[in-house]
Chains A and B, each alone.
Chain A
């Protein structure tokens, strides 16, 4: 079974600064997806960024980027130029792939990190 660990229950950052959220995972599989999801207060969870394990290049989405270290089983999220709207709980998640190379959609989530962006 896979496990996902987020060791930072809470983080805070000043607006316009950069913050990094940590995530480690454990799996014996060689191909999988990793995700960061964002859950704003009282709003639905949305995907921030996705990484395919077979790709060595780190994923980026505008101000969001990841540092994917496959050997170390580490998957951190960097948020640059933090904005007040980034205040949310962030979840790291793992997805196994089926024989066809697609996701079952059964994600294993970490405990979450509450990020607060201060003006």
Chain B
């Protein structure tokens, strides 16, 4: 099992569809993140979850809805997206504990989303 697994790897959806992205980490980490990677732009932090609780929503539109049922799984539910939402969505995890944190994020391979 790779450390952080994302499915699907590729997704094409229309603006009226509802779909979900899934992330699973097998590293025993307790914090998980969604980042958006668009062409020619820095990675943008979207959401942060610590111990299943959302601790940050970086002004993300409500058409993106995250869900974290446990420390190992993270979902991003997508609804009525816009073409400008087409991007690579990266999931990452870290062990967030005092004195035991190197700051290294572990990333999945990403889900390439195309909104038509």
- Tell whether, in the assembled complex, residue A105 and residue B107 are in contact, meaning their CB atoms are under 8 Å apart: no
- Tell whether, in the assembled complex, residue A47 and residue B90 are in contact, meaning their CB atoms are under 8 Å apart: no
Selected contact of B103 from candidates A43, A95, A109, A110, CB within 8 Å: A95
- Tell whether, in the assembled complex, residue B98 and residue A102 are in contact, meaning their CB atoms are under 8 Å apart: yes
Interface size on A, residues (CB 8 A): 27
- Tell whether, in the assembled complex, residue A106 and residue B98 are in contact, meaning their CB atoms are under 8 Å apart: no
Most chain B Cβ neighbours within 10 Å, of A91, A97, A103, A111: A103
Chain B contacts of A105 at CB under 8 A?
Answer: 31, 33, 48, 92, 94, 96, 101, 103, 105
The CA of A117 and the CA of B43, in the complex, are separated in Å by 24
Which positions in B face A, CB cutoff 8 Å? Answer: 2, 4, 31, 33, 40-43, 45, 48, 56, 90, 92, 94, 96-105, 107-110
Beyond the given A50-B104, A105-B101, please list 7 additional residue pairs across the A-B interface where CB-CB is below 8 A. Answer: A9-B40, A44-B4, A100-B98, A103-B103, A104-B48, A106-B48, A108-B42
Which positions in A face B, CB cutoff 8 Å? Answer: 4, 9, 33, 35, 42-47, 50, 91, 95, 97, 100-112
